[in-house]
């Protein structure tokens, strides 16, 4: 468990997790490596990527980053992801069996939820961090503010709507993490194989987090 607490602390410091969702395993690997080069330390490979577990296995060889699995909808995929070396399991929904299995295996559980009832149930079931999804559609930062009245003890990950321009507002919300997808792993850049531009985007986001942390200190 100490290992997991350490991982949560690191995530809270880093703030950013990048979700990589591409059509091919090769693109997922290249996009993830581009993000790591740009200073991103938490990379989630979604299970919508073909052979996602193999991509996770390859990426786990790079000790600069913590690799997890996303869009995990059932225990079978959670099993595959953890066997490949994933440190955390992220889902768009809350499935008690997935949370319980993840915890039993000693990995970090990040289920998705979007109503106070779901959020509390996911938390009670053992979710370490609750992913608010889809964040903008359920009310964004105002929704988070309202939630924290009755549920201040839950750690939240904000999933959706964060861009370079509004990132400081997200950082000010002081959530456990901010999940970024297409704002860094842009579809057009993936299609063009322009990994350098993805690295530069990852760098810009990481720099924003650093600057915010320095200004706060």
Q: Is 203 noted as a catalytic residue in this protein?
A: no
Q: Which entry of 79, 131, 208, 210 is annotated as an active-site residue?
A: 131
Q: Which entry of 12, 44, 61, 118 is annotated as an active-site residue?
A: 44
Q: Is 51 noted as a catalytic residue in this protein?
A: no
DSSP tag of 154: S
Q: Give the catalytic positions in this structure.
A: 44, 131
């Amino acid at each position: 468990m100490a290992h997991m607490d350490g991982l949560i602390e690191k995530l809270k410091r880093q703030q950013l997790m990048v979700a990589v969702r591409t059509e091919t395993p090769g693109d997922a690997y290249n996009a993830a490596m581009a993000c790591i080069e740009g200073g991103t330390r938490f990379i989630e490979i979604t299970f919508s990527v073909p052979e996602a577990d193999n991509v996770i296995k390859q990426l786990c060889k790079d000790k600069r980053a913590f690799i997890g699995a996303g869009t995990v909808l059932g225990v079978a995929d959670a099993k595959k992801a953890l066997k490949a070396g994933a440190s955390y399991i992220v889902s768009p929904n809350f499935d008690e069996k997935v949370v319980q299995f993840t915890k039993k295996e000693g990995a970090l559980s990040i289920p998705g939820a979007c109503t106070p009832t779901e959020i509390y149930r996911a938390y009670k079931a053992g979710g370490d961090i609750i992913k608010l999804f889809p964040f903008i559609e359920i009310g964004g930062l105002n929704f988070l503010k309202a939630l924290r009245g009755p549920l201040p003890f839950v750690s939240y990950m904000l999933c959706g709507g964060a861009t370079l321009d509004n990132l400081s507002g997200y950082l000010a919300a002081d959530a456990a993490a901010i999940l970024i997808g297409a704002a860094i792993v842009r579809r057009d850049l993936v299609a063009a194989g322009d990994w350098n531009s993805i690295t530069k985007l990852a760098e810009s986001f990481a720099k924003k987090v650093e600057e915010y942390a320095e200004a706060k200190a």
